[in-house]
Copies of this chain bind each other. A is one copy, B any other.
Amino acid sequence: MSNEEFIHGGDIYTHGILKGKKLIDFSSNINPLGVPSGFKENIEEAFEMVERYPDIKYRELKDNIIKYLYKYWGTTLEHKNLILGNGASEIIDLSIRRLKKVVIPAPAFSEYSISCEKWGCEIINSALLSNMDYDYEDIILKLEKADGVILGNPNNPNGGILNNDKFKEILDLCEEKNKLVIVDEAFIEFAEENATVINYLKKYRSLIIIRALTKFFAVPGIRFGYGITFNDEVIKYMNENQNPWNINSFAELCVKYALIDEEYINNSKAWIREEKEYMLKELNNINIIRKVYITHSNYILCKLKTCDCEELYSYCFKNGIVIRRANNFIGLNNEYVRFAIKNRELNDNLINTLKAFK
C-alpha cells in the first residue's frame, strides 16, 4: 500500500475491489443505510440535467441547502453565505489557502496539513488532552502567533465535539484579532442536535463552517461539500479561486432529494444512537483494547493494550475486515486504531473478530 493510499485511510481498491475480493471496510466512516432512495428513484432527472452545463450560480442547489439548514438547525442564510465545493476537501483547501500560520489539533484529519503544506502555511499543532478533548487554553495561547485555527466538530479520528463556552472564547479572540476560525462539521449530523456551532455564524464573521453530503448521506463518490460564513470577503476570495461549474449534476440532484428525505434522516439518527451505544459497550469489553474514547460521531478511536495497530490490521485483514490504523495521525502512535460504526450484523462481525484475536 502506497503512502498516499495509507494517508487516505485504507485503500480498499488495491487489495479488494480491483482484485475482486470482498472486504468489509471499517476504515471509512460512511452511513451504512446507504444512498438515500429519493436520489436513486429520481435519477432520470439527472440525465436531463447532465446534458447542459450546470447553472453557473447554482441557484436551485443553494436554495435546497438553505431550506435544509433552516429546517434542521433554524439557521437563516442567503445564497451569498454559501460556497460550494467538489467535496469538502475543496472548501478545506480554499479556507487554508490564504493563511500564513494555523493552529491544528493533533490528531486531526490529515487533509488539513496536506493543504497547509501545499500553500506554504505553517502548522502549529495543539495536542488533544489525554481524554482526547480539545486543550482550549493551549489553542488560545497558540493562536497568538497564528492567523487561524481549524477544529473538527466532531473531530476526526476521536469524535470529540466543541465545548460551547470554551469555543466562544476562541471566537471572541479571533473576531477581535481578525483571525479565521474554520470548523469542520462534516460529521455533525451524527452528533447530538446541540453539538453544532452554526448559531455563532451570524455574530462572528471570523467563523467558517464546512459541511458535506459525504458521510451522513453515504455518498462520498458524489463529491459535494459546502462552506457557510457571513464573511463576504472570504466568500469572494474563495469564489475567485474556484473553477467554474465545480459541482456536477448528480450532486445537484442528490442535494435536491437527500436533504428532504425525512425518513432517511430519522432512521440514520436512530441507527447511530443505538449502534454507538452498543459499540462503545462492546469495545469496552474487549481484552486487547486498553481505552475506548467517547465519540459523538460514527467512528470510535481505541487505544490497544496487548498488540499494536499493524498486528491488528493484518489479523483483521486476513478475516476480511479493513480497519484504520491510526498511527499516521500526528500525536498518535501504533497503539491506536479507529473503527467505523456500521450496522449490527457487521458490527458483530468486527466485535467477534476482535474477541478472537490472540
Binding site for B on A (CB under 8 A): 4-5, 8, 11-13, 17-18, 25, 28, 30, 34-35, 40, 43, 46-47, 49-57, 59-60, 86-87, 89-90, 93, 111, 118, 218-223, 240-241, 243-252
Residues on the B chain within 8 Å of A87, using CB: 243-246
Q: Are B47 and A240 within 8 A (Cβ)?
A: no
Residues on the B chain within 8 Å of A252, using CB: 221
Give the residue of B18, B34, B49 whose beta carbon is less than 8 angstroms from that of A60. Answer: B18
Ordered nearest first, which 9 A-B pairs have the shortest CB separation?
A221-B249, A50-B221, A13-B55, A223-B248, A250-B250, A53-B220, A89-B243, A86-B86, A8-B56
Give the residue of B5, B25, B86 whose beta carbon is less than 8 angstroms from that of A246. Answer: B86
Complex-state Cα separation, A87 to B249, whole angstroms: 12
Q: Are B11 and A56 within 8 A (Cβ)?
A: yes
Q: Are B221 and A52 within 8 A (Cβ)?
A: yes
For residue A177, give the distance in angstroms from its CB to the closest CB of chain B: 29
Complex-state Cα separation, A220 to B59, whole angstroms: 17
Complex-state Cα separation, A54 to B323, whole angstroms: 18
Complex-state Cα separation, A41 to B127, whole angstroms: 51
Give the residue of B17, B49, B89, B222 whose beta carbon is less than 8 angstroms from that of A221. Answer: B49
Q: Are B244 and A89 within 8 A (Cβ)?
A: yes
Residues on the B chain within 8 Å of A5, using CB: 56-57
Residues on the B chain within 8 Å of A244, using CB: 8, 87, 89, 111
Residues on the B chain within 8 Å of A220, using CB: 50-54, 245
Give the residue of B57, B222, B245, B246 whose beta carbon is less than 8 angstroms from that of A50. Answer: B222
Residues on the B chain within 8 Å of A18, using CB: 55, 59-60
For residue A235, give the distance in angstroms from its CB to the closest CB of chain B: 15
Q: Are A40 and B47 within 8 A (Cβ)?
A: yes
For A11, A89, A250, the residue with the greatest tally of chain B CB atoms inside 10 Å of its CB is A250
Complex-state Cα separation, A2 to B60, whole angstroms: 17
Complex-state Cα separation, A243 to B49, whole angstroms: 25
For residue A57, give the distance in angstroms from its CB to the closest CB of chain B: 8
Q: Are B55 and A11 within 8 A (Cβ)?
A: yes
Residues on the B chain within 8 Å of A111, using CB: 244
With A11-B56, A220-B52, A221-B54 known as contacts, the answer to whether A248 contacts B250 (CB < 8 A) is: yes
Q: Are B243 and A222 within 8 A (Cβ)?
A: no
Q: Are B35 and A53 within 8 A (Cβ)?
A: no
For residue A278, give the distance in angstroms from its CB to the closest CB of chain B: 22
Residues on the B chain within 8 Å of A52, using CB: 12, 25, 28, 30, 220-221
